[in-house]
């Protein structure tokens, strides 16, 4: 993995279904690359069950917006031609593409089949609600619009073990198929008794034809788009054996091309022990999203007596730093979604500093924080328009040994000392200070738990019942933190990239400086005149539609 990599999640949930999103990403990709984005997480690019679907309601893996199926040739995001243009430009720039692979289920069957099934309890998939009976389910997938191109495999009931719809009774539920002696996968999470079923028509990976076809698809799409990696959606809800086989099969099949394929799994749990146990039995370089860290930051951002020193407690980036993809927000945690986890807007820049400027973790930046979110929950970009500055600062200065100054509940900081580059040059370091005493008085009285889905309660835990009482800094005095950046910097002046030269810190002969940080904000100090310092402020467009008029540095 290259120095200081950054993933950019290239979508949010409410983007318009205008089939122009690949064009938007193509237009901004050079600018994202210039500030330090090294990988682009694509929205689910396979044909959905309907023309406006985001792709998590996947119909045909092999249709990337190329065939007239499910009411449209294009996907919501755009036609395959636009996707190929984006892939070509990404390759030119050296930006890796990460494909959002939805392997757990299929949606939008072409025809009905009659099977024997039993309805199970939605909160306990091991509890039957009735005797087995015949149901009519949409489990025939002919993919006639594709006509056998890329794969001649068609789906029938043998490739599924459950469905959410009985057409005979026009009723919705979870209908576990009993025909053929089918059962739930055993190597899945214990959520709802057994976590195999999530939604729609659930794939049965004991079927060897299906398993082989999906693995072949992984190789095909990797080569077709020149992928650098995959995000595996809803990983706890489908066979662990299949997911490991998929990863090994794809890697083995493209190794002659010298391609190093990255994999991150969405196993969404706030319990780090669950994530750790899953990684323990997985391939050593599999990554997972650090949901516990996201929830810690969300809780801290609304806590009336926060303790910043606890932010990394029981997080994946703490227990398994080489396997953690860190994030502040994504399409599932944004407002209106099932795992909505609001972070106080004033805290969002601090949250991004906690994932972008640390040694550990592979940070992922959310589209909505960079370019805003569409209706019905419209919001402008976050971080006061400074998110691009933070990403660029990571690219230029977040190098070298890290020393933490987590001494005060409200005020923490750390130093990155820089490192000698292979060409003999020096990659500069930085000094980061953040202050947080709680949300502003006008903030809504809520915490992430108020809107969290009731079926995923495991993350809702108190940070600590024994936080010591402390006094806020005296009014009129700017909080500051003394930190050592190194004797080699003695006499230098360091300034905050976010506030220009408003705060100047002279490094003493002992290599220390006293770094100010106003209440409830963030400061990021670098040496005055260091290479790249003139690029701040970045002036990045706060709307993707405005980017052509912006100065990108």
The helix/strand count (H/E) of the chain reads as 10, 27
The separation between CA 312 and the C-alpha centre of its own chain, rounded to angstroms, equals: 18
Please identify, among 399, 414, 430, the residue that sits at the C-terminal boundary of a domain. Answer: 399
Q: Are residues 213 and 81 in the same domain?
A: yes
The pLDDT score that the predictor gives to residue 307 is 97
Domain ranges, residue 26:
7-104+208-399
The pLDDT score that the predictor gives to residue 468 is 30
- For residue 418, the 8-state DSSP code is B
Residue 370, SS3 per DSSP: helix
Chain segment 349-398, per-residue pLDDT in tens: 999 999 999 999 999 999 999 999 999 999 999 999 999 999 999 999 99
Q: Considering the domain boundaries, does residue 38 fall inside one?
A: yes
Q: Are residues 350 and 214 in the same domain?
A: yes
Q: Considering the domain boundaries, does residue 405 fall inside one?
A: no
CB 291 within 8 A of CB 269: yes
Q: Are residues 192 and 312 in the same domain?
A: no
Please identify, among 363, 381, 399, the residue that sits at the C-terminal boundary of a domain. Answer: 399
Q: Are residues 193 and 214 in the same domain?
A: no
The pLDDT score that the predictor gives to residue 445 is 38
Q: Considering the domain boundaries, does residue 527 fall inside one?
A: no
Number of domains in the chain: 2
Which CATH number do you get for residue 119? 2.40.30.140
CB burial readout 449-458, b (16+ within 10 A) else e: beebeeeeee
Q: Are residues 91 and 141 in the same domain?
A: no
Which CATH number do you get for residue 21? 3.20.20.80
Q: Are residues 176 and 237 in the same domain?
A: no
Give the integer Cα–Cα distance in Å for 326 and 317.
7
Q: Are residues 78 and 133 in the same domain?
A: no
Give the integer Cα–Cα distance in Å for 546 and 245.
44
CB 160 within 8 A of CB 141: no
Cis peptide before 83 (omega within 30 of 0): no
Q: Considering the domain boundaries, does residue 449 fall inside one?
A: no
Supply the residues annotated as catalytic: 233, 266
The pLDDT score that the predictor gives to residue 257 is 79
Q: Are residues 128 and 158 in the same domain?
A: yes
Q: Are residues 230 and 250 in the same domain?
A: yes
Q: Considering the domain boundaries, does residue 500 fall inside one?
A: no
The pLDDT score that the predictor gives to residue 355 is 98
Contacts 24+ apart (CB under 8 A), 467-474: 467/305, 467/307, 467/310, 467/409, 468/409, 469/305, 470/305, 470/408, 470/409, 470/410, 472/410, 472/437, 473/410, 473/411, 473/435, 473/519
Q: Considering the domain boundaries, does residue 515 fall inside one?
A: no
Q: Are residues 348 and 386 in the same domain?
A: yes
Q: Considering the domain boundaries, does residue 95 fall inside one?
A: yes
Q: Which residues in the chain show pLDDT less than 50?
A: 1, 442-475, 548-553
Beta bridge pairs of residue 121 = 124
Please identify, among 399, 434, 454, the residue that sits at the C-terminal boundary of a domain. Answer: 399
Q: Considering the domain boundaries, does residue 14 fall inside one?
A: yes
The pLDDT score that the predictor gives to residue 258 is 77
Give the integer Cα–Cα distance in Å for 386 and 129.
53
Q: Are residues 267 and 344 in the same domain?
A: yes
Residues 6 or more apart from 378 whose CB is under 8 A from it? Answer: 372
Chain segment 286-320, per-residue pLDDT in tens: 999 999 999 999 999 999 999 999 999 999 999 99
The pLDDT score that the predictor gives to residue 65 is 98
Q: Where do the DSSP E strands lie in 221-311?
A: 229-232, 262-265, 287-289
The pLDDT score that the predictor gives to residue 541 is 74
Q: Are residues 199 and 212 in the same domain?
A: no
The pLDDT score that the predictor gives to residue 474 is 43
């Amino acid at each position: 993995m290259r120095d200081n990599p950054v993933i950019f999640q290239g979508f949010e949930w409410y983007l318009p279904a205008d089939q122009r999103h690949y064009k938007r990403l193509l237009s901004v990709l050079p600018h994202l690359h210039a500030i330090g984005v090294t990988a682009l997480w694509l929205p689910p690019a396979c044909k959905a069950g309907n023309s406006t679907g985001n792709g998590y309601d996947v119909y045909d893996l092999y249709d990337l917006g190329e065939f007239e199926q499910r009411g449209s040739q294009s996907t919501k995001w755009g036609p395959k031609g636009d996707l190929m243009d984006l892939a070509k430009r990404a390759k030119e720039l050296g930006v890796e593409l990460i494909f959002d692979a939805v392997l757990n289920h299929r949606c939008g069957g072409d025809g009905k089949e009659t099977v024997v099934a039993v309805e199970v309890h939605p909160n306990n998939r091991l509890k039957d609600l009735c005797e087995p009976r015949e149901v009519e389910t949409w489990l025939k997938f002919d993919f006639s619009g594709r006509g056998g191109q890329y794969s001649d495999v068609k789906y029938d009931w043998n490739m599924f073990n459950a469905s959410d719809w009985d057409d005979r009774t026009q009723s919705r539920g979870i209908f576990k198929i009993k025909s053929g002696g089918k059962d739930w996968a055993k190597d899945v999470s214990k959520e709802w008794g057994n976590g195999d079923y999530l939604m729609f028509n659930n794939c049965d990976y004991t079927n060897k034809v299906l398993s082989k076809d999906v693995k072949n698809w992984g190789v095909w799409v990797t080569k077709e788009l020149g992928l650098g990696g995959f995000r595996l959606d809803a990983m706890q809800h489908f066979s662990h054996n299949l997911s490991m086989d998929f990863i090994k099969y794809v890697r083995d099949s493209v190794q002659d091309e010298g391609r190093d394929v990255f994999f991150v799994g969405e196993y969404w749990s706030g319990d780090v022990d669950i994530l750790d146990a899953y990684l323990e039995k997985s391939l050593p370089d599999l990554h997972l999203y650090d949901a516990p860290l996201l929830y810690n930051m969300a809780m801290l951002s609304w806590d009336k007596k926060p303790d910043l020193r606890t932010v990394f407690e029981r997080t994946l980036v703490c227990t398994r730093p080489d396997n953690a993809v860190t994030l502040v927000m994504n399409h599932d945690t944004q407002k209106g979604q099932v795992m909505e986890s609001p972070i106080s807007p004033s805290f969002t820049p601090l949250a991004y500093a906690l994932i972008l400027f640390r040694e550990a973790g592979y940070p992922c930046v959310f589209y909505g924080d960079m370019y805003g979110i569409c209706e019905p929950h419209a919001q402008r970009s976050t971080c006061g328009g400074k998110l691009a500055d933070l990403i660029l600062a990571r690219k230029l200065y977040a190098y070298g040994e890290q020393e933490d100054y987590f001494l005060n509940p409200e005020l923490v900081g750390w130093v990155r000392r820089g490192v000698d580059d292979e060409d003999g040059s020096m990659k500069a370091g930085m000094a980061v200070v953040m202050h947080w005493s709680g949300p502003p008085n006008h903030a809504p009285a809520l915490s992430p738990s108020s809107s969290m889905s009731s079926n995923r309660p495991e993350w809702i835990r108190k940070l600590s019942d024994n936080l010591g009482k402390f006094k806020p800094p005296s009014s009129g005095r700017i909080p500051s933190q003394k930190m050592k950046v190194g004797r080699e910097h003695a006499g230098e002046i360091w300034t905050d990239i976010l506030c220009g030269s408003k705060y100047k810190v002279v490094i003493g002969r002992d290599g220390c400086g006293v770094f100010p940080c106003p209440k409830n904000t963030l400061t990021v100090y670098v040496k005055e005149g260091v290479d790249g310092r003139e690029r701040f402020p970045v002036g990045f467009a706060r709307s993707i539609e405005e980017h052509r008029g912006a100065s990108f540095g």
